[in-house]
Structure 1
Amino acid sequence: MAKHIFVTGGVVSSLGKGITAASLGHLLKARGYKVTMQKMDPYLNVDPGTMSPFQHGEVFVTEDGHEGDLDLGHYERFIDENLSRESNFTQGSIYQALIARERRGDFLGGTVQVIPHVTEAIKERLRRIAGQSGADIVISEIGGTIGDIESLPFIEAARQFKTELPPGDVLFAHVSLVPYIAAAHEVKTKPTQHSVKELRSLGVQPDFIVCRSDHEVSDAVRAKIAMFCDVPADNVLACVDAPSIYEVPLSLHDQGLDEKVLARLGLPAREADLAPLRGFLAASAACEGEVDIAVVGKYVSLPDAYLSVIEALGHAGVACGRHVNVHLVDGEEIDEGNVAEVLGGMDGVLVPGGFGRRAFEGKILAAGWARAHEVPYLGICLGLQAAVCEFARNVAGLRGATSAEFVEEIAASATEASEGHLAAAAASAVPLVVDLMPEQADVEDKGGTMRLGAYPCRLVPGSRAEAAYGEPVVYERHRHRFEVNNAYRDRLAEAGLVVSGTSPDGRLVEMVELPGHPWFVATQAHPEFKSRPTRPHPLFRGFVAAAAARRG
């Protein structure tokens, strides 16, 4: 039987529950236990796949094609395990499944209610991930903040779940804000007291309290929280802001969190192997020199929209012995007149994934700048499509080349500016070097219908991509609907664009590159999702190494 740990949050959101949960997962795995992790989100969306990154940050994609919460990225990077669609579910998905069953008549005319039906469905997901993963310990983070109406079914399900398992098989860790009040020159415990009081009113007594703060949390403060919250003082831990999120596991380890958790679960505290993490942090501290990388995107006002990209750049930087300065550049603000000014000081240009025409022309300009000025370039998903469109327009002579994704928008804007259907027809006649996948032609629903998850890619021998990976076939995760149009592949190849990676049957273009360029590689996949602190992704490592070489 797996042991279960529930992580809750109090006072405010964005406390770092995910980092705390992932850090605990790292520590328990370092002690030799098989760990898996799960995020329960209270919102009514079925998954974050159709949510704007401005709302919820990046959408993380698992190997089996689930569009999940960005915390899954933290989990994978910290415990170095590939998670699955069982690792993330929302209240919306629970309701969707229950309503489908009700419509089929599965409840035989009975009344469907939050208790027991919603809570039972949540508990079933807890049992399912434990059974399918074969984990010794399952860590489940409950999204939202204690006191939110929407999270009540999850708290109640977790409370019931504890009563159904033997004593010592379930524990609760509550992550709470301990704010510093500058006028009083002290941190305040009252918000945490109220948060724990609210949690206890729901029938849940936390076993551990992790105090998040930007100031020191003294022993006296922890003792006060312990007294008012009925938690042993040794089980109240400080988690103060750290320069790197990868320092958090060591901070919690130094306070004995992993050993105390195992004792509470009745498991032996095996020797902890933290050498890989310590080695990564030592290498990070030893980095000399810098590289400046422009990430030209659409959602740059919220860095979490490109969280895995930024993390992957950091991993590669440590491997190359350089600090990576990430400059988030709004593609909408790049034009012919300022592209040199915006990108001129950069050592590398990265264009990440995205959807929609907005900022696409700026991304094309960024790809063109990198190509023409021999600046290292890495294109990801839409970044590959931008590079192909730019090359088609300015090298292969395909004037106005673009993606079918934007044809309707182009036609609409042309119609507004000119003569109705004639302008629309002209706009739709541009070369569509990126087109909709045939199997996507009749798809109407937006959620969960793209090409999702891991797919094989056969690399061309002697290509830069093949040299970076060091193997002929690789698997990368995808999230897109549009592909390079095979009708133009020969024309692009004749002009010098190398298709360096394809699907095993050769039908789909997976990677392209430019020979003779210091580094110009683009992939239709999302390699950032597979980068780890101690194992940076080969494409990111090659890209950052080329940027470092350019800087000299």
Structure 2
Amino acid sequence: MPFIEAFRQFQFKAKRENFCNIHVSLVPQPSTTGEQKTKPTQNSVRELRGLGLSPDLIVCRCTTPMEKSVKEKISMFCHVEPEQVICVYDVCSLYRVPLLLEAEGVVGYFKERLNLQFEANSRRLLNKWKEMADRYDRTLEICSIALVGKYTKLSDSYASVIKALEHSALAINQKLEVKYIDSADLEPCRQLDEPVKYHEAWQNLCSANGVLVPGGFGFRGTEGKILAIAWARRQKKPFLGVCLGMQLAVVEFARNALNWPDANSTEFNPNTKYPVVIDMPEHNPGEMGGTMRLGKRRTILKEKNSVLST
């Protein structure tokens, strides 16, 4: 594997005092016996050494805390000290993982191994992190957000948006519940083809505390997003449009508040009578996405009394 060979060569260029190799390995625990198996870790470390890399830390992923005898066994057969075997077991939230690593001695190991000088306020920062993790575990009130998009079947498609929402919910002492809604399921044609999906989508939308329409490309599902945006505006529900979501909010307002039924983005209808979102040729390579603002662009406002001009 080329990237392993690159790491092997890099360790000599970086020198040992600047290079730390962390090997992550699964320690399975079959439900039939409940015994934590070390063979996969032993074999993977052996293979890694055969490729010219020796682990400084072996991070073992487990479902439950690792028994002392298991840690000692991995230490013995993988030729590392027991302190270099780190157990990362399943915890109640992602925010607990840094605290778990600190409790396992990872911070102290890095400080000694890489000769790191920590700032005096590092403990204070860790305490703040612990307070946040404790607050997350204690939070009971739910904040539900309807995420109306086209790629809702792919869990990682909106990962950055979901993480931002989680942090926002945590800041107001609430837990996030995301209602994933395929925007095409909100469109009238879906009511005829698959009425169950149509009614479920609208039920999820109507029961949410807020609506978020993320970015995307292509015409499919845009009318469903516009319907969701119109519903949020009329019901005075909190709404956030990101990238395409904000563009479609402009389209929705032009259609329903300004009575421009033909309003659209030129990305979807180049011949629209009211091009409220325009294509930017200097940014458009001929593919989807030519309406994205990727840099400075001079804008000329024809009306001096508009809200935007002031």
* Structure 2 length-normalised TM: 0.84
Deviation at 1:169, TM superposition (A): 2.3
Cα 1:333–1:231 change in 2 (3 A) is same
In 2, the alpha carbon distance for the partners of 1:236 and 1:270 equals 26
Identify the residue that residue 78 of structure 2 maps to in structure 1: 229
In 2, the alpha carbon distance for the partners of 1:268 and 1:429 equals 61
Identify the residue that residue 433 of structure 1 maps to in structure 2: 276
Contact map agreement 1:295 1:327 (CA 8 A) in 2 = yes
Identify the residue that residue 62 of structure 2 maps to in structure 1: 213
> Which of 241, 245, 251 is the matching residue for 2:100?
251
In 1, the alpha carbon distance for the partners of 2:112 and 2:279 equals 55
Q: Which has the higher strand share?
A: 1
Identify the residue that residue 380 of structure 1 maps to in structure 2: 242
Cα 1:364–1:255 change in 2 (3 A) is same
If asked which structure has higher relative contact order (CA below 8 Å, sep 6+), I would say: 1
SS at match of 1:328: strand
Identify the residue that residue 258 of structure 2 maps to in structure 1: 396
Cα 1:327–1:445 change in 2 (3 A) is closer
Question: Alpha-carbon deviations, 1:122-160, whole Å to 9, x = none?
Answer: xxxxxxxxxxxxxxxxxxxxxxxxxxxxxx222222211
Contact map agreement 2:27 2:41 (CA 8 A) in 1 = yes
Contact map agreement 1:176 1:210 (CA 8 A) in 2 = yes
> Which of 234, 238, 244 is the matching residue for 2:87?
238
- Sequence identity (%): 42
Unaligned 5+ residue runs, structure 2? 192-198
Question: Partner letter of residue 91 of structure 2?
Answer: A
> Which of 392, 399, 406 is the matching residue for 2:268?
406
Deviation at 1:444, TM superposition (A): 4.4
Cα 1:429–1:266 change in 2 (3 A) is closer
Contact map agreement 2:263 2:272 (CA 8 A) in 1 = no
Identify the residue that residue 362 of structure 1 maps to in structure 2: 224
Contact map agreement 2:211 2:232 (CA 8 A) in 1 = yes
Contact map agreement 2:8 2:52 (CA 8 A) in 1 = yes
Deviation at 1:430, TM superposition (A): 4.7
Identify the residue that residue 196 of structure 2 maps to in structure 1: none
Contact map agreement 1:348 1:376 (CA 8 A) in 2 = yes
Identify the residue that residue 173 of structure 1 maps to in structure 2: 22
Identify the residue that residue 154 of structure 2 maps to in structure 1: 302
> Which of 307, 314, 321 is the matching residue for 2:166?
314
Are 2:143 and 1:291 equivalent residues in the alignment? yes
Contact map agreement 1:187 1:215 (CA 8 A) in 2 = no
Question: Alpha-carbon deviations, 1:368-418, whole Å to 9, x = none?
Answer: 11011111111111110111111111111111322222237xxxxxxxxxx
SS at match of 2:158: helix
SS at match of 1:315: helix
Identify the residue that residue 194 of structure 2 maps to in structure 1: none
Identify the residue that residue 32 of structure 2 maps to in structure 1: 183
SS at match of 1:181: coil
> In terms of Rg, which structure is larger?
2
In 1, the alpha carbon distance for the partners of 2:67 and 2:273 equals 66
Contact map agreement 1:393 1:401 (CA 8 A) in 2 = yes
SS at match of 1:228: helix
In 1, the alpha carbon distance for the partners of 2:93 and 2:12 equals 38
In 2, the alpha carbon distance for the partners of 1:190 and 1:260 equals 25
Identify the residue that residue 212 of structure 2 maps to in structure 1: 350
Name which of structure 1's ranges 279-288 and 351-360 shifts more when overlaid on structure 2: 279-288
Deviation at 1:164, TM superposition (A): 2.7
Cα 1:172–1:383 change in 2 (3 A) is same
Q: How many corresponding residue pairs?
A: 294
Contact map agreement 1:177 1:192 (CA 8 A) in 2 = yes
Are 2:263 and 1:263 equivalent residues in the alignment? no
Name which of structure 1's ranges 244-253 and 183-192 shifts more when overlaid on structure 2: 183-192
Unaligned 5+ residue runs, structure 1? 1-151, 409-427, 456-482, 500-505, 507-552
Identify the residue that residue 132 of structure 2 maps to in structure 1: 280
SS at match of 1:196: helix
Contact map agreement 1:294 1:326 (CA 8 A) in 2 = yes
Deviation at 1:350, TM superposition (A): 0.7
Contact map agreement 1:334 1:365 (CA 8 A) in 2 = yes
